[in-house]
Amino acid sequence: MAAHLKKRALAEFTRVIQEEKPPEPKRLRLIQKPPPSVPPVQLELHTAANSQEALQSLVAFEQHLPVDLATAENAVRGLLDHFYKEKESFVRVKVLLVLAQVVKTPGFNAAAIVDDLLNAFKREVSHTVSSQVMNTLLVIGKLQPTDRKLHGQLISVANEKLQDTSHLVRCKCLELIGALASCDSMSPVEGESDSLLQVQKMLCSYTQDQDARVRASALRALASLHERGILLDMYVYRQAGGALTDDYESVRLHAVKLLWVMAHLYPESKVTLKKSKEKIRLVDDTFVKICNMMNDLSWKVRAEAAGLLGSLHLVSPRFLEQTLDKKLMSNMRLKMSAHERQKEHFQSGEWASGNKWADDAPRGEVDEDDVSLMSGGACGAFVHGLEDEYLEVRNAAVDSLCELASHKPSFANQSLDYLVDMFNDEIESVRLNAINSLRKMCQHFSLREDQVEIITSGLLKDFNHEIRESVHNMFCCATLATTNGLRDIIFALLDNLKRYPQDRASIWKCMQHLGEHHPALSLPLIPELLSVYVFILVYLSCQVYAAPRRAPPSPLSASNTRTSQCSHVL
């Protein structure tokens, strides 16, 4: 047995290794599956038994829009056929709404159905349906921007329907004229050489309409002409100025916007004030009128007026500075000599008792508008805006104040105190806006100690991280007037670091910029901040300036030299 095992152990075994072939990569065959077969949407209005079923069919078809070109062509024909048959006005309105969306299908010839709509428009009795027909025609006109003949046809129809008794129809007609009117689409009447001037005068006439919605639509149409690149005439300015005293909010809102447009078109034109022969620049007159709207009853009008003031960069400094004072400055009053006053009395034709001309003529109460170049509402406009009860108005006033101050350095220095007071606002968004606005204006002024105290007393302790970081960025750009102001900021930043350690990166960056921008103010604070004696600093500075100039030593020798000097001083 042992011999057998020994023989078996000494036996040479042969091992055969068979290498397996690597598996072949699987080949994937990507097959694009066809999209699920969705039956084309068909508008089957002919199967509707009554108006309710027709309305449900229209709503279901509207949910599947947009559709392909073939479906759109079939749907348009079905919509027009049902429009002629339907008796209920609400269903016809829905048909026109769907039709206005279907004609937007790419490749569809929308101009082909204009004649059908015009024929239906002439026979229509319902005012709601008529206004919707005009809206559909407006959509088609915008889809054909180069078809001047079509635009002229639509404008002619709109002019005819402007005498309609319904405000809905008149508003849509004015909107269509404002969106499509041009030199090529309007045919001038007799005695009117400029067709666009004719359009503008016609639109201005509807700013006196009895319905406020029509008056607002007329002002919007004039603004649409400007947006399309058509130059507005000065006649529009007088009409828009009269609309500022309208009883309705929407009219006043659009009038303010239109006045702002005219101020950018004719800033240097001269306008004559009411009840006075004095002439001022149009941009100044517009600025005064918009400032006057800061006292409007509607907060939307006040917010719009406050936001538009900031872009009137060409306003004269005397009008701009008056917005920060609630009292009318004496140099803004109109002064007349005695000779001019006597000449005015003589030209007026008033009677006299024989001793003095017009001495016993009846006199009415003196209006403040008669003795000043600007209305009382413009005085303190920004003060009223910054104290408004609505945050939208305060934010808009802060933005405009910042923008005007960035272009007028003298105005920036005067408005600094008002902007710093906004740091105590109860709304975070207003405080943040005031901080960022002050940062943009920092190049025009220096912060005083009292202003620094207002900023550091509450803002650096604010719980909002965004406000604290904005204050740090503002201090990076600020210029300080005194050493005490810099000391207050440094200790306030150290207190901020204790309260909110996560602000360390922003605080260190702020410290760096404060030192770089105020080297003269930082030097007296070194003994207090580093807790060293003054004579040590003086001695070290003298040693540095008295040392002979040599070649720059190696880093090792320089470190040994500094060590020996410090040990000698100590």
Instruction: State pLDDT tens for residues 49-77.
Output: 888 999 999 999 999 888 888 889 999 99
pLDDT by residue (tens digit) across 144-196?
A: 998 999 999 999 999 999 999 999 999 999 999 999 988 655 554 433 446 88
* Cβ neighbours around 129 below 10 Å, total: 23
How many Å apart are CA 147 and CA 154, to the nearest integer?
11
Residues 377, 294 contacting (CB under 8 angstroms): yes
Identify the pLDDT of residue 183.
Answer: 65
pLDDT at residue 457 tops 50? yes
Lowest mean pLDDT among 99-113, 511-525, 535-549: 535-549
Give the separation between CA 182 and CA 176, rounded to whole angstroms: 12
pLDDT grade, residue 7 (50/70/90)? low
Q: What is the mean pLDDT of residues 443-463?
A: 88
Whose CA is closest to 386, among 430, 343, 429, 452?
Answer: 430
190-230 tens-digit pLDDT: 334 468 888 999 999 999 999 999 999 999 999 999 999 99
pTM of the model: 0.77
pLDDT at 372: 44
Q: Which residues of 206-225 are buried (b: 16+ CB within 10 A; e: fewer)?
A: bbebeeeebbbbbbbbbbbb
The mean pLDDT value of the chain amounts to 82
pLDDT of residue 427: 93
What's the pLDDT tens digit per position in 379-420? Answer: 889 999 999 999 999 999 999 999 999 998 889 999 999 999
Q: What confidence score (pLDDT) does residue 278 get?
A: 81
Q: How confident is the model at residue 558 (pLDDT cuts 50, 70, 90)?
A: very low
Task: Report pLDDT digits (tens) over 340-365.
Answer: 555 555 555 555 555 555 555 555 55
How much is the average pLDDT of 129-144? Answer: 94
Coil vs helix vs strand at 398: helix
Q: Is the dihedral of CA 490, 492, 497, 503 positive or negative?
A: negative
The pLDDT value recorded for residue 528 is: 83
Crossing angle of helices 249-265 and 234-242, in 10° steps, is 150
